[in-house]
Amino acid sequence: MDVLLAVLFVVLAPVIGGLVAGIDRKVTARMQGRVGPPLLQPFYDVAKLFEKEQILVTPSQNFYITAYLVFIVVSGALFFAGGDLLLVIFAFTLAHIFLVLGAYSAYSPYSFIGAERELIQIIAYEPMIIISAVGMYMVTRSFYVADIMAAKVPLISYLPGVFVGFLMVLTIKLRKSPFDLSTSHHAHQEIVKGVTTEFSGPMLGRVEIAHWYENVFLLGFIYLFFAANPPVAILVVAIVYFLEILVDNTYARVTWQLTLKSAWIIAGLMGLANLGILYYLSEVLHV
Amino acid sequence: MSFLPRSPWILHYDASSCNGCDIEVLACLSPLYDVERFGIVNTGNPKHADVLVITGGINEQNREVVRNIYDQMPDPKVVVAVGICACTGGVFRECYNVVGGIDCILPVDVYVPGCAARPESIIDGIVRALAILGEKRKLLETKRTKEQGGEDTAPGGRK
Amino acid sequence: MLPLPFLVVFPAVVAALLLLVPSDTWRRPIVWAGAALTGAASLSLLFLSPATGPFSIPAGYEMLTEGMFAAEMAIAVFLAYLGMKYRRYLAIFLILFQAGLLVYFERARAATGHEVAPDLFVDQLSLVMALIVGIIGGLICIYSLGYMATYHEKHPRVPDRRRSFFFLLFLFLSAMFGLIFSDYLPWVFFFWEVTTLCSFLLIGYSGTDESVKNAFLALNMNILGGIAFAGALIYLATVDPGGGLLHLHSLIRSGHAVALVPAVLIAFAGITKSALLPFSGWLVGAMVAPTPVSALLHSSTMVKAGVYIIVRFAPVLTGTMEGLIIGLVGGVTFLLASAIAISQSNAKKVLAYSTVANLGLIVACAGVGTYRLVWAAILLIIFHAIAKSLLFLCVGTVEHRIGSRDIEDMTGLIVRMPRISVMMFIGIAGMFLAPFGMLISKWAAIEAFIDAQFGLAFVAILAFGGSLTVLFWSKWMGKIISVCPVAERVENRISTEKWVVLTVLTALTVLVCLAFPLISAHLIEPFVLAVYGQTTRLSQDNITIMVMMLVLLMIMPFSLLLYRDEKRIVPAYMGGRPATPDLTFQGSMGVQRHVGLCNYYFEDVFGEKKLFMAGSALCFGLILIVGTLTAGVAL
């Protein structure tokens, strides 16, 4: 495993993640005909959060949020070090469970609803992420990110359906409308701030940083589909992110029922059908 | 350097306004005025907010609520009273249930007069508040270092 | 190899002794000593049996077998009597039918002379099972001492039949040991029947209408399995009058052509016993019994007997259509039982459905039966047994202290019963979170299914079912750890016995995760290697990472110390309303209102009735297909 890449991830991911968030806000503003905040605004925000006083509902929140950040970093580092994709996904889920538990621990109505919705989101996207990993295994015969990266063939040509399914759950993961159910990330306040309602000051700062790490990890996941050709891969990552922003700005939020159903149906139709065809080609026709 | 003035997150509370000022506050978010240029974000949650923007005066029903929201904001924080009702109670001042302006129960940092207050003056008020936010942050810092210094010198004190 | 007959006979002796002892003062030391010795003896197997192999009881072989037949008849008479008493005619019919089959088999068997062959054996699989039965079963027996005392205080109308209760517990253990050490199938069947009897009587312990009803439900379903088992015996006696195939090992080695029909029949018996979908009703109904009984049924005995026998026959099932469909029954059960668990708020019911789900997963692994899947299945058996027994006993303890087993009533348990809550938290984490046991096995199962024939269907089931389990476990966890600060601490008055058992089980949950590479290397891999000629394991660096994650998780709580000084506690945000920490606020018209937070249960999506019916129909259909296929082979 490549420890150097893991260290680079730990150091650089917040920088990249923050910049991406800044670009996101700028582009969003432009789409709405506004000037928008400075590019570095996300850094100002987080730096400010660390300057604020820490208020708590219960001290145990600290534990869960620290664990959330730590395991997000661990799973991302594992991913960039070329580790086992399934292990990465499990560590990633573990991290999110900690976020949910942090929200539960506060015993507050809004964060409680946020926690329940976050759980719904987790079960909505998790099958598709596992299916993506399985698809990559079926093409490269390895779960190791390092091996998948080194694959000579572009995965996308074997896994178009899986890719589409992954884009669908990516919207959930990036907390973009129409699936921004649990946090009200972009200034809608239907459930106040959902999961993050009771986190404030430095603790909220840690949640934000974890979110940056997470976004970089997810962009890395998209990269994997095109890893055979790095320039194209980077271009695709940029296009995908732009599309996510566009979708975010053009769709109203949907209910959790629709989120769950659509995520599962897309995962089932696109992901599984893709894998089925792949299976048929390799096992039956021996292509 | 403090990052507080660069990232003020506001909480907007309608105390007992006629909605005139509220519409103007929302207008600030529109593309025409775009307060996000200054990093201003309208949060719905006192625990995330730095600036409390209040429209309308205090009445008997909401004094507890306003107090509570203010208490739930982490330090440092500033209060901006938007509109004449928030500043003084305005035309409702003499009503049987109206207590008065925001400053009857909270320390107000910036008064933005007007009926309704214009978006330009609201933005101006908030930007003035940012300077105060920076000041408060410095005060807090010196207070904290003083406290720690005091502890250091106290015999047998905890380091 | 003395421990083998010792482990079978000794618990039975303890059981008999407990039947005689009238008072709790005498019962206590006997249960402690009995459980400790049983546990120690099963542990000693670990050191005594590097060379695995059959151990024979040369003398009294025929006599023993005939004694068992007589006992089976006695059990049938006894059960038929109870059936008459409670007017359960279906049960009587099934019992008599099974008895008839047995008489037929016994006559066929007696007509042809049998050669004497090794009868008790131990290999790594039975060793794993023995450790589970001996240690966890023993711990549950000890826990029962404290539990049953409180139980009778709380339920004054239930007649105090603790003598027979403890008798049955130890008899259960004895039967389980007999079942996993026996090589001779008629013996296996005898012990199989004894577990059916014990579970029947234990479920009906309280004697209420509901418990009697559920006890007979369990009886009917298990006897149905017993009939299939008896059918397998008769088939074998017909195919091979010499009786050589009546030995488990020679049967498994004899290949698909001969062994498939009995394997399918016995797997069907296993499906009923381990409560897969059309039959899961009995296990869910069994929660009316006192909690230690549920813990015993769900973790170390009964249902594990079912999956044990299916894992045994995995080499026969592998690569066959029948095996695949049996695996599919398991897979469907896993998916739907996990979904049903989401809609339940009764903690014991959630646990019951999660057991059904996990057993389904084990059967899915064993039915498809490649070597990697069998490895995963055995791992699942181990982790599930420990974590599930811990959870049941925690729920039992909580139920006695707060008077409810509803998850909604466990809000803020961390404040009221901090130690129990932490244990419960670890138990739940053990069921689904990353560096813990069950997840390791699920992971291994995903990897193994990809390469198996038609494995993709199972991968899909695991992907979707796995995420469903995340939902119901996490929301339960969330309930426990919500800190609602004004609550009385009610953790005192929990007996030492309970503390000892719970602490040991919690420690085991963590230790087994840390030591699982060792367990895999010394117990599971040799077994898989011996059966399949090849074996598998997780790669070294992944194991290292898992252990590091576990250690990280264990040191993480100390981070709380870092934040000790940050003290400004602010109540939860309630839309600006001033509220007390337990969420009471002044509503309109000056009325005090209380806010209650309830989990989502998604009744309309994951409702029990709908899914249960659909799943049962589907699994029933699958079993019918297997039956038809097998009948085609047999005739």
> Tell me: the pLDDT tens digits for C58-97?
556 677 888 888 999 999 999 999 999 998 889 999 999 9
C9 CA to centre of own chain: 23
Cβ contact C578–B72 (<8 Å): no
Q: Which two tokens stand for residue A112?
A: 């409680």
pLDDT at B153 over 50: no
The answer for C 365-394 residues in CB contact with A (under 8 A) is none
Residue of B14, B33, B48 for testing the chain A interface, max A β-carbons within 10 Å: B48
Search chain C and give the residue with CA nearest A132. C463
Cα–Cα distance for residue pair B6/A273, rounded to 1 Å: 50
Cβ contact C443–A107 (<8 Å): no
- Say yes or no: B149 contacts chain A, CB-CB below 8 A: no
Search chain C and give the residue with CA nearest A90. C434
Provide the pLDDT for residue C57.
Answer: 59
The answer for B 7-36 residues in CB contact with A (under 8 A) is 7, 9, 31, 34, 36
For chain B, how big is the Rg over CA atoms in Å? 17
Contacts of A83 in chain C (CB under 8 A): 541-542, 545
Q: Which two tokens stand for residue B71?
A: 């208490």
- In this prediction, residue C541 has a pLDDT band, given cuts at 50, 70 and 90, of confident
- In this prediction, residue C439 has a pLDDT band, given cuts at 50, 70 and 90, of confident
Q: Are C344 and C608 in contact (CB under 8 A)?
A: yes
pLDDT at B151 over 50: no
Residue of B32, B35, B36, B41 for testing the chain A interface, max A β-carbons within 10 Å: B36
Distance from the Cα of A231 to chain C's closest Cα (Å) equals 31
Distance from the Cα of C563 to chain B's closest Cα (Å) equals 16
Provide the pLDDT for residue C212.
Answer: 92
Cα–Cα distance for residue pair C511/C499, rounded to 1 Å: 18
Mean pLDDT, residues A100-123 taken together: 90
**Which amino acid does the sequence have at A6?**
A
Chains that touch C (3 or more CB pairs under 8 A): A, B
Distance from the Cα of B69 to chain C's closest Cα (Å) equals 5
Among all chains, which residue has been given the structure tokens 């894998």?
A: A275
Mean pLDDT, residues C461-474 taken together: 92
Provide the pLDDT for residue C50.
Answer: 53
Cα dist. A76→A91, A93, A220, C447, C459 in Å?
Answer: 9, 12, 9, 21, 24
Cα–Cα distance for residue pair C311/C271, rounded to 1 Å: 12
Among C470, C482, C541, beta carbon nearest to A122: C470
How many inter-chain contacts (A to B, CB under 8 Å) are there? Answer: 77
Q: Are B39 and A37 in contact (CB under 8 A)?
A: yes
For chain A, how big is the Rg over CA atoms in Å? 19
Q: How many other CB atoms are there within 10 angstroms of residue C26's CB atom? A: 13
Of the candidates C382, C384, C328, which has an alpha carbon nearest to the alpha carbon of residue C354? Answer: C384
Cα dist. C169→A65, C25, C74, C177, C290 in Å?
Answer: 44, 18, 20, 13, 12
Q: Which two tokens stand for residue A276?
A: 């089925």
Cα–Cα distance for residue pair C378/C380, rounded to 1 Å: 5
Cβ-based neighbours of C513, under 8 Å, separated by 6 or more: C383, C430, C435, C436, C437, C440, C546, C550
Provide the pLDDT for residue A59.
Answer: 83
CB-count exposure of residue C371 (10 Å: 0-12, 13-18, 19+): buried
How much is the mean pLDDT over chain A?
A: 89
The answer for A 256-275 residues in CB contact with C (under 8 A) is 257, 260, 264, 267-268, 272, 275
How much is the mean pLDDT over chain C?
A: 87
Extract the runs of DSSP E, i.e. beta strands, from chain B: 9-14, 41-43, 51-55, 58-59, 78-82, 98-100, 110-112
Of all helices (H) and strands (E), which one includes residue A165?
A: helix A160-173
Cα–Cα distance for residue pair A260/C606, rounded to 1 Å: 13
Kindly report, residue by residue over A173-221, the tens digit of the pLDDT: 988 888 888 887 766 777 888 888 889 888 999 999 999 999 999 999 9
Chains that touch A (3 or more CB pairs under 8 A): B, C
Cα dist. C379→A102, C311, C383, C426, C524 in Å?
Answer: 31, 12, 6, 18, 8
Contacts of B72 in chain C (CB under 8 A): 570-571, 573
Cα–Cα distance for residue pair C465/C450, rounded to 1 Å: 16
Q: b/e string for C372-396 if b means 16 or more Cβ within 10 A? A: bbbbbbbbbbbbbbbbbbbbbbbbb
- Say yes or no: A245 contacts chain C, CB-CB below 8 A: no
- In this prediction, residue C142 has a pLDDT band, given cuts at 50, 70 and 90, of very high
- In this prediction, residue C483 has a pLDDT band, given cuts at 50, 70 and 90, of confident
- To the nearest 10 degrees (0 to 180), the angle between helices C347-368 and C256-273 is 180
Cβ contact A197–B72 (<8 Å): no
3-class secondary structure per residue, A116-127: HHHHHHHHHHHH
pLDDT at C514 over 70: yes
Among B47, B66, B74, beta carbon nearest to C573: B47
For chain C, how big is the Rg over CA atoms in Å? 25
